Amino acid sequence: MKFRKLGLCLALASAASGIAHADDTKVQAVADAQQQNSTLEKIAKTGVIVVGHRESSVPFSYYDNQQKVVGYSQDYSNAIVAAIKTKLNKPDLQVKMLPVTSQNRIPLLQNGTYDFECGSTTNNLERQKQASFSNSIFVVGTRLLVKKGGAIKDFADLKGKTVVVTSGTTSEILLNKLNDEQKMNMRIISAKDHGDSFRTLESGRAVAFMMDDALLAGERAKAKKPSDWEILGTPQSHEAYGCMLRKGDNEFKKLMDDTIVQAQTSGEAAKWFDKWFKQPIPPKNMTMNFDLSDDMKALFKTPNDKAMN
C-alpha cells in the first residue's frame, strides 16, 4: 500500500511539474510575442525601418520612372518614417522599401519581414484578426471600369459575362459572393495585380474590371486613351484604407495615428490629395480627375480607424 501511495504521490508531483512547465512555456511565448510586436524596439535595435509598398497601385503607392516609390499613401509612409526618426532620436535610420502584393502583404508583415505598409489595403473585420490598422487614410467604393458607351451600365448587366478582378482583394471576395448569391453565371478572372487586371479588360478578355473606384481611376489614367473608359455601377461596398502594422502593437499604432491625425487636421493630407488626384502625376503626367468625396471630407474633419462595409 505504501509503495502504491508513494507512486501516486510521485505521479501527481510529476503532473504538477508538467503543468507548471507548460504554464511557464505559455508565459514565455506571450512575452516573446509581445517583444516581437514592439516595432519601435526592433527598429531602435537594428537601425533599420522596412516599409512595405505596392508596385502599381496608382496613385497610392507605385514606381515612377526612376523606380522611386511615390503616391498618396507613400506621403503618409514618409511622414510616419519621419515621426519614427524623431521618436527614437535617430535621424540617420536606414529606410528599406519592400514591394508587397495583395497575396503576400499580410504573411510578410506577420513574420516580421517588414514593419508597416501604407498602400491600398482595406481595413475590415476579417483582416483585423491578422493585423492592426492605423487611422484611415482613404475611403473608396467598389465599382466597375468598362468601355465607354458599351452595354454594361451596372452590376446586373454582368450576368453571363467575363469580369476581371485583382486576386487577394476584398473586391474579389465581393464579386464571387455576388456571383453565387445572385446566380449571375459570371466567368471571373483573378489577375495578379491591378495593372494585369486592366490589361485583361483592355484586351477584350473581360467586359468589366471590378475594384475600388480610386484604383480604377488610376488604371484609367494610365490607359493609352483614358477617355475610352468610364467608371460606373452602384458601389457594392464602402471601404477604408489604413496603414497596416503587426497586431497588438499599440505603441506603434499610436505613433502612426498621431502622425495621420496631424496630417489630416492640419490640411497637409488635403494637399496630398490635390497633388495625386487633381494634378498631373508621374510617370506620364496623367491626371486622375478624381474629386474629394463626402466620405473623405468627413474623414479629414474627424480622423478615425473604423472599418467600413
156 and 187, same structural domain? yes
Total domains, the chain:
2
202 and 213, same structural domain? yes
pLDDT in tens, 99-112: 999 999 999 999 99
Asked whether residue 182 is domain-assigned, the answer is yes
CB 250, CB 86: distance < 8 Å? no
Asked whether residue 72 is domain-assigned, the answer is yes
Asked whether residue 53 is domain-assigned, the answer is yes
- The cell for 111 is 513574420
Confidence band, pLDDT 50/70/90 cuts, at residue 308: confident
209 and 150, same structural domain? yes
Q: Does the pLDDT of residue 17 top 60, yes or no?
A: no
Structural domain boundaries enclosing 218: 141-238
Mean pLDDT of 126-131: 96
268 and 234, same structural domain? no
| The model scores a pTM over 0.85 | no
Estimate to the nearest angstrom the gap between the alpha carbon of 41 and the chain centroid.
24
Last residue of a domain, one of 215, 238, 261: 238
104 and 157, same structural domain? no
Backbone angles phi, psi at 35, to 5 degrees: -65, -45
**Please, what is the average pLDDT of the chain?**
90
Percent of the chain with pLDDT over 70: 88
167 and 295, same structural domain? no
Asked whether residue 9 is domain-assigned, the answer is no
DSSP 146-207: EETTSS--SGGGGTT-EEEEETTSHHHHHHHHHHHHTT---EEEEESSHHHHHHHHHTTS-S
Mean pLDDT of 280-305: 95
- What's 149's domain CATH number? 3.40.190.10
